[in-house]
A = this chain, B = another copy of it.
């Protein structure tokens, strides 16, 4: 399992390593025939320059690291497709690591990537991440970093965001316009900015339309189907069904729907549902789920572009925050049907 190195090629061709190097880098003067001969022999021998050594020398790697919390839900994979689309064209390789919603794993991933000398990172913070000191440190050293979706207000770096407040507001208004009054929000983990924004959008919509609410109108939950199931189960047991629910994302909405169905309740007749961060599931389930669609692909592409700008800027760089637009796809689950 020995790597073929530049030396092997040099030895075989009876020339110096620098000549080989020059042939590959095509920058300095070198006789055309020599070059072609070298390239041919090298190819035949299965040689290609070792990027590890190159990274060590150049202190950069043409690699970009991506760290995401999970990829069970379709959101992150779709963002990554967008990221890759932009970066691969520019000659970068994309290394993906997942933190599994753990702060510790996330930090290890970041350090691994840093040690691999990636030229920059695109990150979405894990649920467990409260402490962002290491990111502050990276930013202070000028390390190119772009955050998306799960960001921290403490970090001054480029960000790609979705206007969670606005779309939660619209989604809630949609329920209000349908005539629902007793509306509950399944909110995400309170530590996350996206959860807070969606919650505030929800509350402000209620306020605007003078819909009464109290602390029981907000039920904090997670991001998974099981979280929606659990909370719905509780509501059913307490015999305290709302008329409508705005869920923090599709999986929790779907969990709620499953549980409602299991107990014989009909969506939207007994309880109307709206999801968020639409996935393919939304239009496939029965009834089809009203949901806020995020431009996942575009989020990825934008994040990649912001990162490239920073990498190419050589230090004189002002972080930008890009807020992307979405849409509310209205389907049967939230309609007022009798």
For the complex, what is the distance from the CA of A3 to the CA of B111, rounded to whole Å?
A: 12
Segment from A95-103, A170-178, A320-328 that makes contact with B: A95-103
Beyond A56-B52, A77-B72, A96-B97, whether A254 also contacts B116 by CB under 8 A is no
Q: Which residues of B contact A286 (CB under 8 A)?
A: 285-286
Contacts of A137 in B (CB 8 A): 46
Is there contact, CB below 8 Å, between B59 and A56?
no
Query: Are B97 and A95 in contact (CB-based, < 8 A)?
Result: yes
Among residues of B, the one whose C-beta sits closest to the C-beta of A111 is B48
Contact of A284 among B55, B84, B94, B258 (CB under 8 A): B258
How many A residues touch B, CB cutoff 8 Å?
48
Residues on B with beta carbons closer than 8 Å to the beta carbon of A109: 93
A202 to B130 alpha-carbon distance, docked (Å) = 52
- A317: Cβ under 8 A from any B Cβ: no
Complex Cα gap A55–B55 (Å)? 11
A34 CB-CB contact with B under 8 Å: no
Taken together as a complex, chains A and B put the C-alpha atoms of A88 and B112 apart, in Å, by 12
Q: A280 an interface residue at 8 Å Cβ cutoff?
A: yes
Cβ of B78 and Cβ of A72 under 8 Å apart? yes
Q: List 28 A-B contacts (CB under 8 A).
A: A1-B142, A1-B143, A3-B59, A46-B137, A48-B111, A48-B115, A50-B56, A51-B115, A52-B55, A52-B56, A53-B56, A56-B56, A63-B112, A71-B77, A71-B80, A72-B81, A80-B98, A84-B98, A88-B105, A93-B109, A94-B97, A96-B96, A96-B97, A96-B98, A116-B116, A225-B280, A285-B285, A285-B286
Q: Supply 18 further A-B pairs (C-beta < 8 A) apart from A72-B81, A96-B97, A258-B284.
A: A1-B143, A3-B59, A46-B137, A48-B111, A48-B115, A51-B112, A53-B56, A56-B56, A63-B112, A71-B77, A71-B80, A77-B77, A81-B100, A84-B100, A93-B109, A94-B97, A116-B116, A254-B284
